[in-house]
Chain A
Amino acid sequence: MTVETLRLADRLGQCQETSADAYRQHLAEAAAAGWRFAGTHVSADRDQVRTLMVAPGGETRFHSAPINAGTAPSIVDLIPAATWDEREASELQGVCFSGHEPLRPMINHGPLAEWTVPVHGGDVHQVAVGPIHAGIIESGHFRFHLVGDRILHLDARLFYKHRGLERAAEGADLTAASAYIARACAACSVSNGLAYAHAWEQALGLVPSPELARTRTILLELERTWNLLNDLAAVCAGAGMAAGNHHFAALTERARRLNAALTGHRFLTGSVRVGGSDLIADLAAVRAAREEIETLRGAAARGWRAITFNSTFDDRMVSTGVITAEQARRMGTVGPAARAVGIAADARTTDARLAYEGFQPVVVERAAGDVKARVEQRALELWQSLDLLDRLLDRPLVSAEAEPGEGSGGLGGEIGVGIVESPRGATSCVVERASATDNLARVGRVRLRTASFANWPAVVAAATGDVLVDFPLINKSFELCYACVDR
């Protein structure tokens, strides 16, 4: 296993752009060469914007541009996926992005005209939904622009739950700061925690031992398993199919009890730490977990057969909430939503820090990009996760530590990146150290760009052109978190 240490001085240095034009040109070239956009953030010193790009082979590279007089060059015309990143940075760090017009507010909620796209016409009317929804749902506001029942345009206004977690983490040492990352989202606590741990370990020149990689992979797949079961329950609820909803809700409950039995927490919270793992499970515990995995597989398969051959359910899903492969690429859609349009990208394929040797992403045969494709994609990924767990839970879990990587010399760098395939797609975390010579390893800047953050624009695109009553189903077919977007 070789994991390179990212040093600002050498690796990052070659991408240190001197001018806005060079920054834009090199990013355009990287995008054309198939590199994936994975986030734009403002540096710890607040004097640079940095854009993270990921090669198809998993290599990461930052492109940085100076912020002059509070203004940085925009890249949204080249990489539309950067839209929300630039809007966020403009409000949270006060950076103006020249060329990003109109730069609509996203976090601070002003008058309607400031944040909605103007929609004119005699028959257009608006429907306001949220921030408080009719069920047990996180807070967020949707402004539908309709003609009759058909959605002409949708503006999503999130960040009601913005807690300033990243800013609050600044100045804290890496252990204290991990609490802020863990609190970002319960449903993605392992994914977010691992992305954060990987970022620090890269910055510190640490490489996980094989046992540490195995424990973490098990945790990540346990998280994926309960999330996928929950997603299937949610999509049944979105279509008003109570039997399917209850069946998969019961399985979600069982999966969370399994999490608690193995790690002491139903959401696996607190089981990921930077630099190692303290999780211990003896042979009896691991065997019991494996047996429960088999029980879940059988029950999930029965449920899946029942909902698959239900024609009224099928009617709701086919050709509802479509996104095209071209749209998904432009918006930077990740995870099952992207794989459901045939984009076979999965961060697990290139993840050298976890135990995914030989992993191949699955893509649903009918990759139509509609609700049905996303639901079928999830079922395929559920079987895959259960297979992985069955393979990995073959021996007891022991405490394990990360070790100094080859050639890092234990010196460490100033910046680190972690990219993890969460249940909703690739999540990236960037950590910049407050000072590279600081023994405490304090956070200068941390940015968590979750798969939910990446995928919200796809929900908007999928809803456009459909009828309003299908929106809950379309929304559930993505099943994104609000908490790990708002942070």
Chain B
Amino acid sequence: MFALLRDLRTLRRTVDLPAPGRGRSLAIRHVDAGSCNGCEHELTLTSSPYCDLARFGIGVVASPRHADVLLVTGAVTARMREPLLTAYAAMPEPRRVVALGDCALGCDMLGTPYDLVGPVDSLLPVDLRIPGCPPTPDEIAAALVEFLDAKPSRVSGGQPAA
């Protein structure tokens, strides 16, 4: 085990991202609304040692009740419509929606009209779009860090800012 940890220490983060160390964070809840599994695999690797999104205070939380951001992958299927809306409804405000990948953005969605509802923005207000089929972990990380930097904190003293 120590050999593994020593190995991990020698790995260098290869992704070109701004320096970490900001006084804020993003708690993300991921919902797969009907993806091909590609976005999930790439999103998972944003926590690999090469990218290590956690050092920016960006992490995936288990419940939408703990989340700032709902990150949605895939064109929304008929059978995922209700679970997606339920997760969004469970989030505290202020809340943000990120659409990840071309399907979620409505590009080249494949399937029957009966089984697909449409892109994420046909159901929810989308604040950030990350294109790609699928976007690489580097691209996802860069977009999320930029999003974190661009958004001034909307919460002060426990109340949403005016």
Contacts and interface: CB of A to CB of B under 8 A. Distances in A.
A66 B62 CA distance: 49
B19 interface: no
A136 B40 contact: yes
A299 B6 CA distance: 12
B37 A163 contact: no
Interface residues of B, number: 49
A249 interface: yes
B60 A483 contact: no
A161 B44 contact: no
B80 A302 contact: no
Nearest to B63: A134
A230 B3 contact: no
B134 interface: yes
A185 B63 CA distance: 26
Contacts of A318: none
A160 B80 contact: yes
B4 A243 contact: yes
B74 interface: yes
A27 B40 CA distance: 40
B128 interface: no
Interface in B1-49: 1, 3-5, 7-8, 11, 29-38, 40-45, 47-49
A183 B36 contact: yes
Nearest to A310: B1
A302 B64 CA distance: 38
A92 to B, nearest CB: 10
Given A109-B79, A249-B47, A483-B37, A161 B110 contact: no
A161 B41 contact: no
Contact of A136 (B3, B44, B51, B110): B44
Contacts of A266: 42, 136
B144 interface: no
A217 interface: no
B131 interface: no
Interface string B101-138: 00000000011101110000000000000000110110
B65 to A, nearest CB: 12
Given A139-B80, A185-B37, A161 B8 contact: no
A196 interface: no
B3 A164 contact: no
B124 to A, nearest CB: 14
A261 B34 CA distance: 28
Q: Interface size class for chain A?
A: 35 or more
B48 A186 contact: no
B83 interface: yes
Contacts of B58: none
Contacts of A477: none
A131 B86 CA distance: 11
Given A164-B111, A168-B112, A247-B4, A135 B60 contact: yes
Nearest to A187: B37
Given A136-B40, A163-B110, A163-B112, A131 B50 contact: no
A135 B87 CA distance: 14
A184 B7 CA distance: 36
Contacts of A246: 8, 48-49
Given A138-B37, A247-B8, A161 B32 contact: yes
A248 to B, nearest CB: 9
Nearest to B61: A134
B79 A159 contact: yes
B75 interface: yes
Contact of A161 (B1, B30, B50, B77): B77
A253 interface: yes
A269 B77 CA distance: 22
Contacts of B87: 132
A165 B111 contact: yes
Contact of B36 (A168, A244, A256, A483): A483
Given A132-B83, A168-B112, A243-B5, A163 B44 contact: no
B36 A185 contact: yes
Nearest to B38: A186
Contacts of A484: 37
Given A139-B33, A159-B79, A168-B110, A253 B4 contact: no
A345 B79 CA distance: 36
Given A250-B11, A306-B3, A138 B111 contact: no
Nearest to B11: A250
Contacts of A163: 34, 75, 77, 110-112, 115-116
Given A247-B7, A249-B47, A253-B50, 11 more contacts: A132-B29, A134-B62, A137-B32, A139-B33, A139-B80, A160-B77, A161-B77, A187-B37, A244-B4, A252-B45, A253-B137
Interface of A: 109, 131-132, 134-139, 159-165, 167-168, 179-180, 183-187, 230, 243-244, 246-247, 249-250, 252-253, 256, 266-267, 269, 299, 302-303, 305-307, 310, 481-484
13 contacts: A132-B29, A134-B63, A139-B34, A160-B79, A162-B79, A163-B77, A164-B115, A179-B110, A183-B36, A246-B8, A247-B7, A253-B137, A303-B7
